[in-house]
Amino acid sequence: MPTRQRPQPPNALTMLTADHRAVQKLFKAFDKRDRGDEASGVEIVETACVELKVHAIIEEEIFYPAVRSKLGDEGESLLLEAAVEHEVAELLIDRLGELEPGEPEYAATFAVLAEYVQQHIKDEEKQLFPRVRKLNELDLEELGAEMQARKDELLSEIEMDVALPGDEETHDGEETLARTPADSGEAFAKRFLPER
């Protein structure tokens, strides 16, 4: 009987590109949502903010340092710009966490975040990623496996700590925290993701 092989983890660039596409789908879903269904909009915003936070963590902890060590001065300006772009996105996510979903500024802030992240994605995919592909001394598969392990760890921490509203499960004798609409954006991410 043939044995099943475990799927290979994606290489680093494939993984980051897949993350980009996932968040772009969320941005489109937010634009196409039923404006009267506030809950679906909140869910999209929360999901996008957590996806962005996890993505930024794996880039800043693993991808950028690995690339920086190989690109040297050539890519330093691109990496510095990317880090600043992450900071600005984090400010917008913080702002979303301060707003109530029904406020007009909530949707506007998310729209600005979407536009900003779209530009960041374009910059990475058109300028940084082509340079990284040319680095023979960088093992993108090994780097991708390390990034996937960290991403899985972060997502596992979120899943262990988050219960759907009304879920009374407990972990280690403590009541699980329920996610509410007020937990959007950065406030949600701060509750369930470790500080960088």
Give residue 8's region: left, alpha or beta (phi > 0; psi -120 to 50): beta
User: Around 31, how many Cα atoms within 13 Å sit in the side-chain half-sphere?
Assistant: 11
| Ordered structural domains, the chain, with CATH | 12-191 (1.20.120)
170-171 and 162-163 strand pairing: unpaired
Q: 191 burial class (0-12, 13-18, 19+ CB within 10 angstroms)?
A: middle
The 10s digit of each residue's pLDDT in 78-125 is 899 999 999 999 999 999 999 999 888 999 999 999 999 999 999 999
The 10s digit of each residue's pLDDT in 167-189 is 444 444 433 333 333 343 344 44
Residue 164: Cβ within 10 Å count: 9
For the entire predicted model, the pTM comes to 0.77
